[in-house]
Amino acid sequence: MMNQKRLERVLENLRAQDLGQMVITDPASIFYLTGRFIEPGERLLALILNTSGKNSILINNLFTVPEDLGVVKVRFDDTDDSVRLLASCIEAGGRLGVDKNMPARFLLPLMEMGAAAGYELSSACVDGARACKDEAERALMREASRLNDEGMAVFSQWARPGITEREMAAHIEETYCSLGADGCSFTPLVGFGANAAIGHHEPDDTPLAEGDCVLLDVGCKKDGYCADMTRTFFFRRMGEKQREVYDIVRRANAAAEAAVHPGALFSEIDRAARSVIEEAGYGEYFTHRLGHSIGIEVHEPGDVSSVHHEPVRPGMVFSIEPGIYLPGEFGVRIEDLVLVTEDGCEILNRFSKEPQILG
């Protein structure tokens, strides 16, 4: 069944943007509204919402959905012209809202058919609804992060001399599953020593050596919702500079988390962390935004960055992940997920942020 409360929020947002209809192709948004996650691959999957209440879903016969989905089902085969069917579900006289992920292979032919009177990006109507998690979603976000805390405790114990990043990454997914999660929410990032200073470094055959930092940026998925946490450990010893940098990043993380409350701007939260790092003289080594929103997808719209000046609202969940990356030396990042509450925030990760020496 369609989730009526969520649907109503999206329809309200459409009305506020003066739109009568919208096409949603993002499987995550379709899951949000219908409770069914379908990965259509190259095939078309589209939910067409109309403020009149005449909603429909276009879905290939290959995929099963419950009978009582609460929307008109338009079924098709691989041999049908699915874009023409989509056009038939759209009011040609009205403008059409389009979600952010609609691929050009459907959008451009739809435009050529003259399916609507105009097209505009209205992803915020559904993404904005998704941004503020309802009670059921908050419980799911808590549970995913609880499992992630448990996972981190296991992974950090794997550190031993000579283990490679790849070897350490290899068993993360099955460990999550054995703990009760459904798998990884993204490809685990494991970085030893200087590799931890490289943005988006993928685990390779670098072996772990004494004095290395061990950066683990990992997350699991549970019942459709994502976790995401980073901890940076040190193997067998921790140098003075490592200790100094770790302390700065930890203070930046704490300062940002303390700045989260309804009405605070995303950019102010970014600033809270960035100031700590800049004042310590490492500003140029914090090379990315502070965080990102998260939920059904590991990255959702809503950057915690210097250029995002909207206020945060209760129910939003995002990461706080300051870092300092010293090329050729080491990198430190400390990341938690936070849930905005009525008067502050709830930190979803409980895993210790004390500096830890492993092995």
By CB under 8 A, name the binding residues for a second copy.
41-42, 61-64, 78-79, 98-105, 107-109, 119-121, 123, 170-171, 173-174, 177, 198-200, 287-289, 299, 301, 303, 305-307
CB of 200 or CB of 263, closer to a second copy: 200
Residues 292, 304: contact at Cβ < 8 Å? yes
CB of 98 or CB of 312, closer to a second copy: 98
- Burial label, 357 (beta-carbon count in 10 A; 0-12, 13-18, 19+): exposed
Q: Which amino acid is at 341?
A: T
CA triplet 180, 184, 26: central angle to 5 degrees? 115
- Work out how close the CB of 4 gets to a second copy at its nearest, in angstroms, rounded to a whole number: 26
DSSP state of 203: P
- Work out how close the CB of 243 gets to a second copy at its nearest, in angstroms, rounded to a whole number: 27
CB of 242 or CB of 321, closer to a second copy: 321
- Work out how close the CB of 194 gets to a second copy at its nearest, in angstroms, rounded to a whole number: 13
Give Cα 179 distance to the centre of its chain.
Answer: 21
Question: Which two structure tokens, joined as six digits, stand for 180?
Answer: 């009760």
- Work out how close the CB of 72 gets to a second copy at its nearest, in angstroms, rounded to a whole number: 21
Question: Which two structure tokens, joined as six digits, stand for 203?
Answer: 């685990």
CB of 142 or CB of 171, closer to a second copy: 171
CB of 171 or CB of 251, closer to a second copy: 171
Helix locations, 219-352, DSSP H: 240-258, 266-279
Instruction: Give the C-alpha separation, 193 to 323, whole Å.
Output: 14
Question: Which two structure tokens, joined as six digits, stand for 354?
Answer: 């004390």
Question: Which two structure tokens, joined as six digits, stand for 19?
Answer: 């739109």
- Work out how close the CB of 266 gets to a second copy at its nearest, in angstroms, rounded to a whole number: 12
Cβ neighbours for 52, distance < 8 A, ≥ 6 positions apart: 20
* DSSP SS3 for 325: strand
CB of 4 or CB of 101, closer to a second copy: 101
CA triplet 102, 122, 341: central angle to 5 degrees? 110
- Work out how close the CB of 37 gets to a second copy at its nearest, in angstroms, rounded to a whole number: 10
> What's the first-to-final CA gap in the chain, in angstroms?
51
CB of 232 or CB of 242, closer to a second copy: 232
Question: Which two structure tokens, joined as six digits, stand for 3?
Answer: 């989730």
CB of 117 or CB of 198, closer to a second copy: 198
- Work out how close the CB of 238 gets to a second copy at its nearest, in angstroms, rounded to a whole number: 27
Sheet with 183-184: list strands edge to edge. Answer: 183-184, 220-222, 225-226
- Work out how close the CB of 100 gets to a second copy at its nearest, in angstroms, rounded to a whole number: 4
CB of 303 or CB of 336, closer to a second copy: 303
The DSSP-derived string for 289-324 is: -SEEE-SSSSSEEEEESTT--PBP-TTBEEEE--EE
Instruction: Give the C-alpha separation, 200 to 256, whole Å.
Output: 23
- Work out how close the CB of 337 gets to a second copy at its nearest, in angstroms, rounded to a whole number: 17
Instruction: Give the C-alpha separation, 53 to 11, whole Å.
Output: 9
CB of 157 or CB of 287, closer to a second copy: 287
- Work out how close the CB of 165 gets to a second copy at its nearest, in angstroms, rounded to a whole number: 14
